[in-house]
Amino acid sequence: MPAILIAVGSTRRPKLAAVEQALASFSNQLDPAASFEVQGFEAESGVNDTPCSREELMRGARQRAEALRQALDKDHRHAGYYVGLEGGLDVAFENGLHHVFLESWAYVSDGTRGFFGRSAGIELPEPLIDEVMEKGIELSAAIDRFAGEVGIRDAQGAWGVLSGNLITRQEAFRVAVLAAFAPFYNAQMYKTARAAGA
């Protein structure tokens, strides 16, 4: 029996590793008799390089998965699941103050149904907020300058810099993927909840 393809709309190593790590946690619940293959593909998000709202993050993740499905369809290829991942910023207001959080989002589709999941959020310091939201500098470039390093997004990411490497970019996406896949690997619970709400 051939492996079920889980197609990811990115070729970046932290994102692919996050999907592989998440899959290892739930593959037996998803289908105990199946084997899975995670493969990355380039897919456009259709949103800004650094999304600056929850809506834009969600749209970017969904559009990556949908663009990937369309591209594979053109090549007469099919995946069991299409995964779109998007990282960026969400702005919240509390007690009259604005807070900007870095978040990682996932959207998973089986070609018919799709679901979102997200990581926790970590608050950005004001100088970084100014660089990204006021000056329009992409987060990956701003965090490199902020940390005095190069290529951070392909390593620990902004998550690692801000959390002192207690939470990496890969870990944040792993949590988002776990959450987005939940309606598939925990289908009975979702079916029961739908029936109870009917």
CATH number at residue 127: 3.90.950.10
List all residues 6 or more positions away from 48 whose beta carbon is below 8 Å from its beta carbon.
56, 88
Q: How far is CA 129 from CA 48, 70, 88, 115, in A?
A: 16, 35, 12, 29
The pTM (predicted TM-score) of the whole model is: 0.93
Cβ burial 162-171 (10 Å sphere, 16+ → b, else e):
bbeeebbbbb
Range of the domain at 42: 4-197
Instruction: Round to whole Å and give the CA distance between 182 and 169.
Output: 20
User: How many domains would you assign to the chain?
Assistant: 1
Pairing of strands 4-8, 36-40: parallel
Backbone angles phi, psi at 188, to 5 degrees: -60, -45
Handedness of CA 187, 190, 195, 198 (dihedral sign): negative
* Closest to 141 in 3D by CA, of 72, 64, 74, 49: 49
Write down the pLDDT at residue 2. Answer: 81
Write down the pLDDT at residue 164. Answer: 93
Write down the pLDDT at residue 153. Answer: 85
Within 10 Å of residue 143's Cβ, how many Cβ atoms? Answer: 25
The series of mean pLDDT values per 10 residues for the chain, 198 residues long, is 92 96 96 96 94 97 98 96 97 93 98 96 95 92 89 89 94 98 94 73
